[in-house]
Chains A and B, each alone.
Chain A
């Protein structure tokens, strides 16, 4: 009976410490380190456009990671995640504009504020399940958005709020090339923290609640506390991501952070794999890159035979939106465990090749 990860023959663990490492093998750890090292070179290698895509993947993957804690690991659901993202963005902009706090500290502070608000919304939500919870989180989305459009002192109302560039101890980072490292650091930190969380007591408690909440309670887990906690954690990462986004764009606007963005966050974790940490990153990359790929395809279709035959004309740009919908449906039907599962299968295939059957 094979475990979740295939371990090469002859690789025996002689201590419990060696059996609880993040990476199952030394090779996989080295590959991860190599990947991070290559990413550190990215600002030198990529053009401004692709660098901005990488930064977006990084920022959204932190928010999606938060949502995965809530949806993938705790088995709750939220379609108000974008509102918490926006709350983090506005809060960080507000703090750095109105208090003598450098942006370096404003970002984690915004995360904490968002987590607090998440906890408040989490208290009633922890007692709800399924469809009722969907409606409750939908309400959270609209309450927060309504607050943003009314509270001019906080968010500027209908005028977008400005945010200061990232600074620490009087030194200001300017441009994507420098900001990239800030995002990279936050991504690494978030992913390491959540990986640790999931292999310790409270992370296991969350998964236990997802798998069988009745027996989780019998095992001594306080359901209300942990469900609420999971909302707080999800909001925390959404807030951090939002704050990073604010100081990246240097302006915060409600535009593009309605319910459709919340659903896009859900799409990221469904495509990547609910309950998979690395899957979150894959899913985010997929969702961010998909419009680029569709742009590429529709650009090449334009004026071609298919375009003429179907008389698509301007409608060709809608291919992008349609493609996202189609791909979510396809993933739910054919790969409900997401890209992370597919990736494991590919790895297993090569490891066992040519004796895979």
Chain B
């Protein structure tokens, strides 16, 4: 399979803080790739480097064999890299429909002149064609009842779904999902997992997902990468990664060293709470 994205020796520093240190990996076309790791491990940082929010201090990024290290975020969107955010980043005062239509920005050709002359320049026709595409996404994600609702008024689970719809509207070949299931209940997670698998299998998108729910990660990912303190500590198929002793220690919390005395631990927990 062809390589979709290659991250080559990426380091990211904020002053003295080393968010990422020499991270390299490659994602194949059509893969469902998960990034896991404890809080502050640099998962979102690597996704931000891919989508262009951050410029890596060192290293390079290649998307379909093209160096994208210096490209702006909006140029990367036009190349077909879409993403969702960990903390919702919808356009709160716009309707769900308009939110998703914004995702089609780079696919639409009308501009402020032709758009203003709506009926005369074919902008109307183009908008309606893209509305049809947006409605397909709305159907796929079951957003029909809320398509006219203002995005900021929706409950959390639905907003996450609208964000996914907006990222899908870009028609990306690579989609980055930053904790798509955070804060969801079991049923919502099940739905979301189904959507993600469909994105990958039906729509043929390469998916990069950051997720904490190990059950979901192990079930649906093809390959998993584990980050800890900004370094890659493991990569491979889910079963191998899960069995890795480093991973168990860093992320899954296996206490294979000194056992903490419960009497000593309890006051600290109380003060933390």
Chain B interface main SS type: helix
A contact residues, total (Cβ < 8 Å): 36
Pair B131/A16 contact, Cβ less than 8 Å: yes
**CB-defined A-B contacts under 8 Å, sample of 14:** A3-B148, A3-B149, A16-B135, A20-B128, A196-B116, A197-B115, A201-B110, A207-B98, A212-B89, A214-B89, A218-B52, A220-B74, A220-B78, A220-B106
| Contacts A215-B85, A215-B89 given; does A16 touch B132 at CB 8 Å | yes
Pair A219/B112 contact, Cβ less than 8 Å: no
Pair A208/B112 contact, Cβ less than 8 Å: no
A207 interface neighbour in B91, B110, B117, B123, Cβ under 8 Å: B91
CB distance from B115 to the nearest CB of A (A): 3
Pair A221/B74 contact, Cβ less than 8 Å: yes
Pair A200/B166 contact, Cβ less than 8 Å: no
CB neighbours of B111 from chain A (8 A) = 201-202
Known: A202-B112, A215-B89. 6 other contacts (CB 8 A): A197-B112, A200-B115, A201-B108, A203-B115, A215-B85, A218-B77
| Contacts A16-B135, A193-B117 given; does A222 touch B89 at CB 8 Å | no
B127 interface neighbour in A4, A193, A194, A199, Cβ under 8 Å: A199
CB distance from A36 to the nearest CB of B (A): 18
Q: Does B44 contact A (CB under 8 A)?
A: no
A222 interface neighbour in B72, B103, B108, B112, Cβ under 8 Å: B72
Instruction: Give the interface of A toward B (CB within 8 A).
Output: 1, 3-4, 16-17, 19-20, 193-194, 196-197, 199-205, 207-208, 210-212, 214-223, 229, 233, 275
Instruction: Give the interface of B toward A (CB within 8 A).
Output: 51-53, 72-74, 77-78, 82-83, 85, 89-95, 98, 101-103, 105-106, 108, 110-112, 114-118, 123-124, 127-128, 131-132, 135, 145-146, 148-150, 153, 166, 170
CB distance from A165 to the nearest CB of B (A): 29
CB neighbours of A196 from chain B (8 A) = 115-118, 123
| Contacts A20-B128, A219-B166, A229-B112 given; does A211 touch B92 at CB 8 Å | yes
CA distance A193 to B146 in the complex (A): 28
CA distance A1 to B148 in the complex (A): 9
CA distance A4 to B96 in the complex (A): 12
CB neighbours of A19 from chain B (8 A) = 131
| Contacts A207-B91, A207-B93, A207-B94 given; does A218 touch B116 at CB 8 Å | no
Closest 4 CB pairs of A and B: A200-B115, A220-B77, A3-B148, A211-B91
Pair B123/A200 contact, Cβ less than 8 Å: yes
CA distance A211 to B128 in the complex (A): 24
